[in-house]
Amino acid sequence: MYTDMVTLQTMDTIFYEAQRQGRISFYVTAVGEEAINIASAAALKIDDIVFPQYREAGVLLWRGFTIQEFANQCFSNKADYGKGRQMPIHYGSNKHNYVTVASTVATQLPQAVGAAYSLKMEKQDACAIAYVGDGGTSEGDFHAALNFAAVTEAPVIFFCRNNGWAISTPTSDQFRSDGVVVKGRAYGVRSIRVDGNDALAVYSAVHAARDMAIREQRPILIEALTYRVGHHSTSDDSTKYRPVEEIEWWKMERDPVTRFRNWMENNSWWSDKAELEARSSARKQILHAIQEAEKVDKPPVADIFTDVYDSPPSHLCEQEKLLREAIKRHPQDYPSDVPL
C-alpha cells in the first residue's frame, strides 16, 4: 500500500509538471488524498466494479494499471484505450473493472446502483463502489442514487471524499448539515465517517462496508474527511480562494503518506534507504513511460467516428468527409502528428 501511495504521489508531481511544460493538456492530482485512493482499493476485490469520479487514479494503479497505460491515456496516443477521445486523466479499463471517468459530476452514482443491482440479481460475490467528492453530494444524482440503492437494497458502497472544496466552493456554502454522513442516514443507508488521511482507518471501513454490502445486500455510505492539498486541476489556482498557509499546514502536518510512513518506521518495517529506493524507482518508471508515450503515433482521424455504431450511419460518413476536406484546406489549423 505504501509503495503505491509513493508511486501515486510521484506520478502526480511529474505529470503535473508535464502539463505545465505543455506536453499534455490537462491533469488532476490526488495530493493529500493518497490514503483514500490506495487503502480503499486494497480493501476491494477485482470483481468489484469501480465507478470513479476523477481523483481516483490510485484505485486503478492498485488494480494493476501500468504507468505506461496512464501515460498513454494522458498523451492521447494510439495505445490509449479511449483512442484519444477523452481528456487526460479520464482513465478506463474493462480488464480492471474500472468504468471510464466522466467529467460530469455525480452521474456515476446512479450508474453504480444499477450495476450493483445487476450483481445482486445474478447472485455475484461482488459489489459496486462509487467515488464522489463533497461537491457531488450537492447534485441531484447523489440523492436519486441513495434512494434508488436503499429501496432496491443494492450492494453498493458510496465513498465520499469530503476534502472541503468543490473547486472553489467550500462545504460551508454547499450545505448546513453535519457533513455528508447524515445524508445517507436520511435515506435509510447505513453510514460512517472516517479519517480519510489514515490509511488503516480507510482500509478497515471499506473492508467492513464491502462485507456488509454483499452479505447483507445493502448500500453503505462512507464519508472520508480529508483535504485537497493540490489545486482542483491544472485549470485552477486555489490560492485565489484559500490562504496559502492553510494549504501548507495540511501538506506538512497532515500528509497521509508521511503519516503512514511514520507508522511503518515505528514498527521497523521501513527505512530511509527503502524510501529512497522506492521514490527513485517510481520516478524512473514514470519518466520512461512519458518518453515512450510521446513517441507513439496519435490515433487516426477515422477513430473519431468509430465504436458507437456497427456500421457508420450516413450523417457520420458525411461529417468525416467534411472534416477531411477541412483539414486539407486548412492544414495549419490541425495537428500535424494526427494520421489522416
Catalytic residue among 17, 277, 294, 318: 17
| Residue 90 appears among annotated catalytic residues | no
- List Cα–Cα distances, 75 to 88, 90, 99, in angstroms: 7, 11, 19
Count of C-beta atoms within a 10 Å radius of residue 246? 14
Distance, in Å, from the CA atom of 312 to the CA atom of 73, rounded to the nearest integer, reads 25
Tell me the three cell numbers of residue 262: 511514520
Among residues 185, 276, 259, 275, which one has the least CA distance to residue 222? Answer: 185
Residue 324 to residue 304: CA distance in whole angstroms: 12
Active-site residue, from 56, 231, 232, 238: 232
Q: Which of 25, 103, 118, 235 is catalytic?
A: 103
Active site residue 336: no
φ, ψ of residue 141 to 5 degrees: the values are -60, -35
The catalytic position among 40, 76, 191, 233 is 233
Clarify whether 17 is annotated catalytic: yes
Q: Are the beta carbons of 108 and 54 closer than 8 angstroms?
A: no
Burial grade of 76 (CB within 10 A; 0-12, 13-18, 19 or more): buried
Going from the C-alpha of 81 to that of each of 51, 299, 300, the distances in angstroms are: 17, 10, 13
**Would residue 34 show up in a list of annotated catalytic residues for this protein?**
no
DSSP of 42-80: HTS-TTSEEE--SS-HHHHHHTT--HHHHHHHHTT-TTS
Instruction: Give the residue numbers marked as catalytic.
Output: 17, 103, 232-233
